[in-house]
Amino acid sequence: MSKPLILVSNDDGITSRGIRVLVDLMSELGEVVVVAPDSPQSGMGHAITVGNTLRLDKTDIFGDVRAYKCSGTPADCVKLAKHHLLIDGRPDLVVSGINHGSNTSISVLYSGTMSAAIEGAMEGLPAIGYSLCDYSSDADFSHVGQYVQKIASEVLDRGLPTGVALNVNIPPKRNQAVNGIKVCRQAKAKWEEQFDVRRDPTGRKYFWMAGNFVNFDIGEDHDEWAIANNYVSVVPCQYDLTAYDAISVLNNQWEF
């Protein structure tokens, strides 16, 4: 059996530590092609490049692994890979990350890491986004390998339901070992933004967005619970945003 073809992308940029860890782990499972942003794209959500051009250049920063840096967003990277670079060979798996920082709960919507995975699912490909719940650029990834590979292997072996990508979050390295893997739902939570107002050297106002993550979900079946309790969380995510329950509510209540 030929080795599976695995497309690797991310949102922290092609020089981040997290993508290097992921490339090394995926190289043990299959043939890897990397297409990743040439600069950090955190918080890019599902942005794509419209009304502007894209660059795509080969790079040897991963040695023998075929790799390209792209001027666009994570979703652009997956589109270029699928519809330009790999036009004769469909990837068997799309993986994105490993993100430096949590993408649990509603952060999935802002996450460039997850947009690459969801773009993969939109293309009909099995896809996984990985995040380590540690924002530091020199985060300790030493405990992630077995979980990252285990989940990728399961997806390669069994596939995923149509239209679904996995949002995988891994607890930060702690003194105690990770307890295992939990399949769960997205926690109900929000960001309470605060804007730090400053003055530039000419006296003009500018803003820094800051904020606190507020978890108001009392359940124990969600990703925030899993991370807090030292489990790897796996949330199956869909790109059909339809709130099906609301269709009948609107049809019954509204007067058109």
Tell me whether residue 3 or residue 159 sits nearer to a second copy (CB atom): 159
The dihedrals phi and psi of 66, each to the nearest 5 degrees, come to -65, 120
Rounded to the nearest angstrom, the gap between the alpha carbon of residue 236 and the centroid of all alpha carbons in its chain is 12
CA angle 179, 182, 185 (to 5 degrees): 145
Q: How far is CA 56 from CA 6, 31, 37, 199, 202, in A?
A: 18, 20, 9, 37, 38
CA distance 37 to 91: 19
The dihedrals phi and psi of 186, each to the nearest 5 degrees, come to -70, 125
Contact 169, 135 (CB under 8 A): no
Tell me whether residue 28 or residue 109 sits nearer to a second copy (CB atom): 109
In the complex, the smallest distance separating the C-beta of residue 62 from a second copy, rounded to whole angstroms, is 21
Tell me whether residue 30 or residue 101 sits nearer to a second copy (CB atom): 101
Tell me whether residue 25 or residue 186 sits nearer to a second copy (CB atom): 186
Tell me whether residue 176 or residue 199 sits nearer to a second copy (CB atom): 199
Rounded to a whole number of angstroms, the CA Rg of the chain reads 19
Q: Which residue has the tokens 């530590």?
A: 17
Q: Which residue has the tokens 């329950």?
A: 245
CA distance 143 to 113: 20
In the complex, the smallest distance separating the C-beta of residue 207 from a second copy, rounded to whole angstroms, is 4
- Which H/E stretch holds residue 165? strand 164-170
Instruction: Enter the tokens of residue 13.
Output: 């940029």
In the complex, the smallest distance separating the C-beta of residue 105 from a second copy, rounded to whole angstroms, is 10
Tell me whether residue 41 or residue 92 sits nearer to a second copy (CB atom): 41
In the complex, the smallest distance separating the C-beta of residue 34 from a second copy, rounded to whole angstroms, is 17
Tell me whether residue 23 or residue 74 sits nearer to a second copy (CB atom): 74
3-state SS assignment for residue 158: helix
In the complex, the smallest distance separating the C-beta of residue 64 from a second copy, rounded to whole angstroms, is 23
In the complex, the smallest distance separating the C-beta of residue 252 from a second copy, rounded to whole angstroms, is 10
In the complex, the smallest distance separating the C-beta of residue 1 from a second copy, rounded to whole angstroms, is 20
